Structures are given as C-alpha cells and as structure tokens.
Structure 1
C-alpha cells in the first residue's frame, strides 16, 4: 500500500470529521439526495466523456497504481541487470532461468532471452507492452481528472436545486431546512470528493507515470544489451545515464 496516499486521505477526512463533531452532530451532514446528485452526476458525466469499454479497466489500473507502493529504484534495476549480464557471460542465456527477479517487465525480458527470441521481436514486444500499460495508466489519470472536475460542478447544481426548492416552498417553513441542506451539502460533498480524493490522485498518478516510463525504458534497453551479449561494464555505463546526478555519482564512487 502507498502509505502517503492512505495517510493523506485519512488525515483530511479526520480533520473534517473533527470540525463537524466540534460544531454539531454528524447526522446534520448526511443527506442522501446530495450524495446522489454529486456521486451519480459525477459518474454519469465521466461515463459520457470516456468510452465504456475502457473506463472500467482504466479506473482499476489508476486505483491500483495510486493506492499501491511499487517503488523500484532505477539504481537497483541497473545493479540487477548488470548482475544478469555477468550470469550470461559465465553461464550463457540459460543461466538466467535460475535468477530470481521481482520486476515483472524485467522478468519477461529475461525469459525472452533464455528462450532465444530474436532481438527485434524482444524489443517490439516489450515496447508494445510498455506503451499499452502507460496508455492505460494515462487513461486512468484522465478518468480521475474528469471525476474531479465534475464533482464541484454537480455540487453547484445541487445547490441550485436546493435553492429552487426552498424558494418554491417559502410558505411552508418545514421544507426550508431540508432544501437548504441539499443546497449546502452538495457543494461540500463535491469539494471533498474533488480536492481530497480525485485531484490528489491525479497528481500521484502523474508522478508515478514518469517513474514507470523511466523504469520500463531502462529495463528494455538493459534487456536488449544483454541479448546482444554486451559486457557487464558497458551495460552498466550505458544504464547509469538513466540515473539522476546524485545517484549516478554514488554508483561511480561505489564502483
């Protein structure tokens, strides 16, 4: 689990709940029509924006990446690829079958090498999988962005609905309270859904998109260098270029 995402959402919700309990009761802030307007309207608008065939998969991929902590340092990938290149030099491609690999992309590339696939096939297959994965991740980001944009708008729509109901029934004081609840709570629900969940997840996915793109490109280049039987030292020097300056200097000092 990505603790930063979970802690941030729980802390934000806790701050709101504490403020509610200090000033009144939780039941005052629960209104089913307001929830229906914000959640139902936001989801409906998101369905209109995106094709139904891909929205479920994109939402699942976006949620999985946003709420899970898959932190693989490029430095660790460089070290692991260099070690595998040394295995190939000593034992041949079949020696890779006994190597334990955590990263699924790297594991698939190593399996291609051990099975003796051609260089062009390996590159095309791995690049295709990388591009499709990043496309699903980007689509998931757009889905959350669409829901985050729609929620405040439907909160405002709920406010207008509540005000219309209130003004249409000013002669009946008993309807003023429920109408005002819809008018105000839909704005609250829309703001919370957008600013506490959807838009922060968009920024999280944006950052993880860059990390995933860098790591998978690094893996593809490393696998291709192993397949072409380059020496571990040459592979290491080539892959170090993917690292930030500080990490690069640290690896050079360790070497």
Structure 2
C-alpha cells in the first residue's frame, strides 16, 4: 500500500484549516492559547500533592521556631501555596486562607475545563469540515466531468477530506480533550488535600503573627 495516495494537501488544508478557524472563531483568545499550552502537560506525570504537603510541613516547622514572619523569605514555586502563605504572613485567619485556596482551585479547574472544551470543540468541527471538503470535491468533480484527470483529483479531495476529518476528531482532538479532563480531575482532588494543612497553619500562627506585628508597631511608634 502506497501511503502517498492518502496525502492530499488540498483536503488537508480544508479540514485542518477549517477546524482551526472554527476554534478561533468560537473560543476566546486566552482559552485558545491555554488549550495549546496544555499540550505540554500531556507528557508530564499526573499532579501529586505529596511534595507540596512536605513543603507545607517544613514551613510549619519554620513558623513554629521563628514565627510566621520568617515564612516571608521562603521560596515557594507553587502559586496556590505561595498565596496561602502570603495570607498567613499577613495575619489573615483560617477562614480567609480557606476561601483563597478554594477560589484558586476553582479558577484553575475552570481554566483546565476551558482548554479541554476547546479540544472538544475541534473534535466536533473536524468531521463537519471533512464533510465540507467532500462537498467541495464533489462539486469540482461534477464541474469537470469532461476531464478525466481533473475528476481524479477532485474525487481524491472528496474522499480524503472525510478521512482527515474522522482521524483528526477521533485520534487527536477527542483523546487530547479526554486526557486534559482526566488530568484536571486528578489535580483538583490532589489540591484539595492542601487546604486543611494550610488552614491549620493559619489558625495556629494567626495569634502569634498579630502579637509580633503589634510589637513591631509599638517599636516603630516609639
């Protein structure tokens, strides 16, 4: 079997270009960019909260020895944990920390879902673009019935456009969307595990942080 017979640039341009154009028209630019960037996460391991839980435990030991203000110098790569620690350093209570973490987690879920929805939309559009390519090829074939060579090229476009649409939808767009949703569910569950340790740290350090800030304020006033 000659695989070159299954390559047609016109059909590929119709299906691929039409699918991309559909995604651009129906999706906000930010969500579209995130959908493309999300492709990088497919090769990574699924998110695990264990390293962050260990870091939170270490931060708790630092705060216990040196006070919550010492946490301000800690290097924290994860943005959600960094935001919660910043709230703890600022003296905000456990309820505020809990609300911040939940807001950040829900916002992250929405971003992941938007990326997956973009790929799902492409999976819906690809077969339709394939059908459009088929119709264009059939029109070209009927218009040039007197030219056997032209009929062959138009027929190739008609048949391969449907094939490309099916392949793009079922072997690319749908699997990517499903994998992004699965990864988002795992990350949402794992990030929920971070909430209680950080809330407990906020509850423990809030009175100490308030006392330290009061001392500093009194010293500045003097």
Same fold (TM over 0.5): yes
**Once the 2 structures are TM-superposed, how far is the Cα of residue 99 of structure 1 from its aligned partner?**
3.1
SS of aligned partner of 1:229: helix
Contact 2:92-2:202 at 8 Å conserved across structures:
no
2:78 aligned with 1:103: yes
Structure 2 match to 1:65: 38
Q: 1:160/1:119 Cα in 2 relative to 1: closer, same or farther (>3 Å)?
A: same
**Once the 2 structures are TM-superposed, how far is the Cα of residue 44 of structure 1 from its aligned partner?**
4.2
- Distance in 2 (CA, whole Å) between partners of 1:79 and 1:119 is 20
Structure 1 match to 2:7: 29
Task: Could you list the structure 1 runs, at least 4 aligned residues long, displaced by more than 6 angstroms after superposition.
Answer: none
- Distance in 2 (CA, whole Å) between partners of 1:35 and 1:23 is 18
- Distance in 1 (CA, whole Å) between partners of 2:172 and 2:33 is 15
Structure 2 match to 1:229: 204
Q: 1:133/1:164 Cα in 2 relative to 1: closer, same or farther (>3 Å)?
A: same
Q: Alpha-carbon deviations, 1:53-73, whole Å to 9, x = none?
A: xx2211222332332336442
Structure 1 match to 2:64: 89
- Distance in 1 (CA, whole Å) between partners of 2:37 and 2:13 is 25
Contact 1:148-1:194 at 8 Å conserved across structures:
yes
- Distance in 2 (CA, whole Å) between partners of 1:80 and 1:219 is 11
Q: 1:64/1:45 Cα in 2 relative to 1: closer, same or farther (>3 Å)?
A: closer
Matches within 5 A, 1:82-231: 82-229=57-204
Q: 1:72/1:136 Cα in 2 relative to 1: closer, same or farther (>3 Å)?
A: closer
Q: 1:36/1:56 Cα in 2 relative to 1: closer, same or farther (>3 Å)?
A: same
Residue correspondences, number? 203
Q: 1:82/1:104 Cα in 2 relative to 1: closer, same or farther (>3 Å)?
A: same
- 5+ residue gaps, structure 2, are 206-222
Structure 2 match to 1:56: 29
Structure 1 match to 2:213: none
Structure 2 match to 1:40: 17
Contact 2:68-2:88 at 8 Å conserved across structures:
yes
Q: Under a length normalisation based on structure 1, what TM-score does the superposition of the two structures give?
A: 0.70
What is the RMSD of the two structures over their aligned residues, measured on CA atoms? 2.5
**Once the 2 structures are TM-superposed, how far is the Cα of residue 83 of structure 1 from its aligned partner?**
2.3
Contact 1:87-1:96 at 8 Å conserved across structures:
yes
Indicate the structure (1 or 2) with the bigger Cα radius of gyration: 2
- Distance in 2 (CA, whole Å) between partners of 1:66 and 1:24 is 27
